[in-house]
């Protein structure tokens, strides 16, 4: 009875919705998302109506709740795209649900639904039909998981409606590639069968993934193809064991995994070298082998078919496609296909940023579920992170860097497989760390470096070298001036020897530090975090050291002590070592700061280099000016500036250090998206400001320490010293 009701309703649903998906043209991804959201809402409304027609308030309530939850989840996006229609539908959906809960007259409720459906038909819709289907199938996948996990019949029927609607759209907008059409027909047939049999949601999810991959026509490229071929052979060996033991169900699952999770990534290359071979492999692996397993043919016949018909062709394909690996297509046409970094619309950049935020939350959920032993929920979260979010990041990303896109696709596939295999927690954590790292890279590639972040990179680089070199310039300038004034020019060359030696030692330190980071591999984030924390600590110390000498008198006393120490001994090595340690101490700090910054200024190296060069030129100019002006240098202003720069850099480094520790799960992650502004990834890395509780609290504490200490040193202590001086003066006068 219920199935009859379902098929009756589905005919009405498809008649209602299909017209809006014909003759559509490609637009930006937002349009496809909007169109698919409206279609899903319409399907939910129609199912609600069909339930009311048979006075089934219980089902009507559940369908209405599903529709409201879906619409509410997308309301902000829908409102941004089309405010008037979206708000009207939203209010109507809420009123309808309220009426169902209060058991209003069925006809009144049906009239409300009719009005809502009429409103939906007035909403402009369009976009690439394939991407619309991808969005609808993502919702079908989510609803099917709910249906299986919670035994929810309404989610189950909604799943059936969404899948059927997707097929109708595809029939109206077929793909021109006949081979791909055949594959999609086969996948949809398997999907219908799996959903009808209420198969495990992971099986259904894999089929939906394969359909979505074909619809967006993912371009695969050569990344360790040998590994994929070997994986297929190993899986077939497992299949042999399964059929020999009479476990045909496991054998069928392995056959599906071979095709969906492995062979699909090889199709593009095989098609380039031999389309007939590809077609033969597809038919044998996807249809003939499956049929033999389903019909429970003799194990020896199944094994013979694989060994004689599939594996030889697979070896042939491997040999032929391996020749593609060294070929580099440098034709002008191939160059035009790829866009440059950052060559995406503002809407795409914003969409990628939002999707990546969702993915981070899904990955946190994945780890939490897995740590609790809930493998199915962990797998669902991992699949949702990819299917519901990263698939849409891929659209602009693939146009810029298809190699990197596929690398991340493999990471998500690996994560799903590891969860399915119930791998150790450490392995799951390791692959998620890699995905987190590549989420930042994905955003960088799509967003580009912008204009503000490079400016900050230049300014920070200039500030580092100028701040670090300032003390050396002042000390060396004072020593040189003193030697000339005291007619001890014979010692000047030893000052230069010490400077040259210190610069060479600084260069060696840079090489060693770079090498350590280069070989750190999986521990790169930890090394970078340690470097950033070390830089923060040094900047904190140096800033207050400078602050204590901000007064010209105190600084000159410090310099005179250095000069007197050198001249008192008369030893040439004293001058060499004084110059060496004066410069190398700053050089070592400079290496530390630049290494810390280099990890956060990716793709902005040229601006960092320019800042360094301009800073060095400024220091040389300052040195020569000092030789002529001496005490007339505005030391208070210079030291105040360097102290401020040091404070800013240390706060930025601290934010980045905490975030690096969050990536590798050394520090917990508490998102504050919507509370703290979500900066562009490059700007965030140059400022250390991220929407997480841990980074913000750490930065606020450090900023508070700077403000309190600076207020004491610059305001309170001078006042106190002035009061003491006044008291002494008054006492001396009274004594007289």
Q: What are the pLDDT digits (tens) for 683-720?
A: 887 888 888 888 889 889 988 887 887 777 667 766 77
- Going from the C-alpha of 411 to that of each of 214, 417, 432, 434, the distances in angstroms are 19, 10, 8, 8
Query: Beta partners for 671?
Result: 692
pLDDT at 236: 93
How far is 193 from 187, CA to CA, in rounded Å? 10
Which two three-digit tokens encode residue 338? 């790829």
Alpha-carbon torsion (567, 571, 572, 574), positive or negative: negative
CA gap 400, 254 in Å, rounded: 35
Of 251, 370, 351, give the one whose Cα is nearest residue 299. 251
Contacts of 553 (CB under 8 A, 6+ apart): none
What digits encode the pLDDT tens for the residues 151-163? 888 889 989 988 9
**Residue 162, H or E segment:** helix 153-172
Q: Which residue has the higher pLDDT, 574 or 427?
A: 427
Question: Residue 530's closest CA among 595, 578, 574, 477?
Answer: 595
Cα–Cα dist 464/612, whole Å? 8
pLDDT band at 309 (very low <50, low <70, confident <90, very high): very high
pLDDT of 70 over the 70 cut: yes
| Mean pLDDT, all residues of the chain | 77
Q: Report pLDDT for 564.
A: 63
pLDDT for residue 28: 41
As a whole-number percent, the residues of the chain with pLDDT over 90 amount to: 8
Least confident stretch, 92-101, 211-220, 221-230, 657-666: 221-230
Confidence of residue 526 (pLDDT cuts 50, 70, 90): low
Buried residues in 303-338 as b, exposed as e (16+ CB within 10 A): eebbeebbeebbebbbeebeeeeeeeeeeeeeeeee
Mean pLDDT of the region 633-642: 64
Structure tokens at 326: 């060294």
Among 632, 557, 583, residue whose Cα is nearest residue 468: 583
Mean pLDDT of 476-489: 67
The 10s digit of each residue's pLDDT in 127-148 is: 788 888 888 888 888 889 888 8
Phi, psi of 676 (to 5 degrees): -105, 135
Q: For residue 564, which of 674, 475, 687, 441 has the smallest C-alpha distance?
A: 475
Residue 299 has pLDDT above 90, yes or no: yes
- Mean pLDDT across the stretch 91-102? 78
> Best-predicted range by mean pLDDT among 188-192, 303-307, 456-460, 604-608?
303-307
The Cβ of residue 731 has, within 10 Å, a number of other Cβ atoms equal to: 10
Please, what sign has the CA dihedral across residues 506, 510, 515, 520?
positive
Listed as own residue / partner, the contacts of 291-299 with beta carbons closer than 8 Å and 24 or more positions apart are 293/243, 293/248, 293/251, 293/252, 293/255, 294/248, 294/252, 296/248, 299/240, 299/243, 299/244, 299/246
Q: Where does the pLDDT of residue 331 fall: very low under 50, low under 70, confident under 90, or very high at 90 and above?
A: very low
Confidence band, pLDDT 50/70/90 cuts, at residue 390: confident
Rounded to two decimals, what is the model's pTM?
A: 0.51
Tokens linked to 566: 């050198």
pLDDT of residue 302: 93
| pLDDT at 251 (0 to 100) | 92
Q: How confident is the model at residue 218 (pLDDT cuts 50, 70, 90)?
A: low
Can you give the pLDDT at residue 17?
44
DSSP 8-class letter at 265 = G
Contacts of 350 (CB under 8 A, 6+ apart): none
pLDDT for position 313: 92
Class for the domain spanning 452-667+680-688: mainly alpha
CATH number belonging to domain 346-447: 1.20.120
Spatial neighbors of 42 by CB under 8 A, at least 6 apart, are: 13, 16, 17, 117, 120
At 9 the pLDDT is 45
Residue 639 above 90 pLDDT? no
Number of H helices, E strands in the chain: 33, 0
How many Cα atoms within 13 Å fall on the side-chain side of residue 390? 31
The phi, psi pair for 673, rounded to 5°, reads -65, 130
Residue 436 buriedness (CB in 10 A; 0-12 / 13-18 / 19+): buried
Q: State the virtual CA torsion across 214, 218, 219, 220 in degrees, nearest 10.
A: -90
pLDDT surpassing 70 at residue 225: no
Residues with Cβ within 8 Å of 30's Cβ and at least 6 positions away in sequence, in order, are 77, 81, 347, 351
* Extents of the domains making up the chain: 1-174, 346-447, 452-667+680-688
Is residue 12 predicted with pLDDT exceeding 70?
A: no
Domains 346-447 and 452-667+680-688 share a fold: no
Q: CA torsion 325→326→332→333, rounded to 10°?
A: -20
Higher pLDDT, 569 or 222: 569
pLDDT at 246: 93
* Pairwise pLDDT comparison (226 vs 538), residue with the higher score: 538
């Amino acid at each position: 009875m219920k199935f009859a009701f379902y098929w009756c309703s589905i005919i009405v649903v498809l008649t209602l919705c299909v017209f809006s998906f014909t003759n559509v043209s490609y637009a930006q991804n937002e349009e496809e998302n909007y169109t698919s959201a409206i279609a899903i809402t319409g399907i939910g409304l129609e199912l609600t109506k069909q339930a009311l027609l048979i006075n089934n308030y219980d089902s009507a309530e559940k369908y209405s709740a599903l529709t409201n939850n879906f619409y509410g989840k997308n309301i902000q996006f829908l409102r941004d795209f089309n405010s008037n229609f979206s708000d009207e539908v939203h209010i109507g959906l809420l009123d309808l649900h309220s009426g169902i809960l209060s058991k209003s007259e069925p006809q009144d409720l049906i009239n409300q639904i009719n009005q809502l459906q009429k409103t939906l038909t007035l909403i402009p819709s369009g976009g690439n039909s394939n991407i619309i289907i991808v969005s609808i199938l993502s919702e079908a996948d989510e609803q099917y998981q709910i249906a299986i996990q919670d035994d929810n019949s309404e989610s189950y029927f909604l799943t059936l409606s969404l899948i059927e609607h997707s097929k109708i759209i595809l029939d109206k907008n077929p793909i021109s590639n006949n081979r791909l059409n055949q594959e999609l027909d086969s996948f949809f047939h398997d999907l219908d069968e799996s959903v009808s049999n209420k198969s495990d949601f992971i099986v259904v999810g894999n089929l939906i993934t394969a359909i979505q991959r074909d619809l967006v026509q993912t371009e695969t490229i050569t990344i360790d193809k040998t590994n994929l071929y070997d994986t297929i052979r190993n899986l077939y060996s497992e299949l042999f064991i399964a059929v020999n033991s009479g476990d045909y169900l496991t054998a069928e699952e392995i056959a599906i995994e071979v095709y969906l999770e492995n062979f699909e990534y090889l199709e593009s290359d095989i098609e380039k070298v031999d389309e007939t071979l590809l077609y033969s492999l597809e038919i044998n692996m996807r249809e003939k082998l499956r049929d033999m397993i389903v019909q429970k043919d003799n194990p020896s016949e199944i094994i013979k078919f694989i060994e004689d018909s599939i594996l030889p062709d697979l070896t042939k394909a491997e040999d032929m496609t391996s020749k593609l690996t060294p070929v580099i297509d440098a034709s002008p046409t191939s160059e035009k296909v790829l866009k440059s970094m950052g060559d995406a619309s503002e809407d795409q950049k914003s969409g990628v940023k939002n999707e990546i935020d969702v993915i981070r939350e899904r990955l946190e959920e994945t780890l939490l579920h897995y740590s609790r032993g809930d493998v199915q929920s962990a797998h669902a979260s991992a699949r949702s992170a990819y299917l519901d979010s990263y698939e849409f990041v891929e659209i602009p990303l693939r146009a810029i860097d298809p190699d990197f896109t596929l690398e991340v696709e493999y990471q998500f596939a690996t994560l799903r497989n590891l969860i399915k295999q119930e791998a150790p927690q450490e392995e799951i954590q390791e692959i998620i760390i890699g995905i987190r790292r590549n989420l930042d890279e994905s955003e960088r590639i799509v967003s580009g470096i912008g204009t503000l972040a490079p400016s900050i990179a230049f300014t920070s680089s200039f500030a580092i070298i100028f701040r670090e070199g300032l003390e050396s310039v002042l000390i060396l300038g004072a020593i040189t001036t003193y030697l000339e004034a005291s007619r001890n020019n014979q010692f000047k060359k030893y000052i230069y020897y010490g400077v040259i030696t210190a610069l060479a030692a600084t260069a060696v330190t840079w090489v060693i530090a770079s090498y350590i980071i280069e070989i750190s591999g999986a521990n790169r984030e930890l090394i970078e975090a340690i470097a950033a924390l070390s830089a923060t600590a040094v900047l904190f110390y140096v800033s207050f050291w400078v602050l204590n000498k901000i007064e010209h008198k105190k600084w000159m006393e410090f310099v005179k002590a250095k000069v007197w120490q050198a001249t008192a001994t008369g030893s040439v090595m004293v001058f060499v070592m004084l110059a060496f340690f004066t410069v190398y101490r700053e050089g070592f700090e400079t290496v530390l700061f630049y290494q810390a910054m280099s990890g956060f200024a990716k793709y902005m190296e040229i601006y960092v280099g320019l800042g360094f060069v301009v800073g060095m030129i400024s220091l040389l100019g300052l040195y020569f000016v000092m030789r002529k002006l001496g005490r007339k240098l505005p030391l208070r202003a210079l030291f105040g500036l360097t102290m401020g720069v040091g404070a800013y850099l240390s706060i930025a480094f601290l934010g980045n250090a905490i975030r690096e520790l969050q990536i590798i799960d050394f520090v917990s992650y508490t998102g504050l998206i919507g509370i703290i502004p979500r900066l562009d990834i490059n700007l965030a890395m140059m400022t250390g400001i991220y929407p997480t509780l841990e980074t913000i609290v750490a930065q606020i504490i450090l900023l508070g320490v700077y403000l309190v200490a600076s207020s004491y040193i610059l305001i309170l202590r001078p006042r106190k010293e002035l009061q003491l001086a006044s008291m002494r003066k008054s006492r001396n006068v009274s004594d007289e």
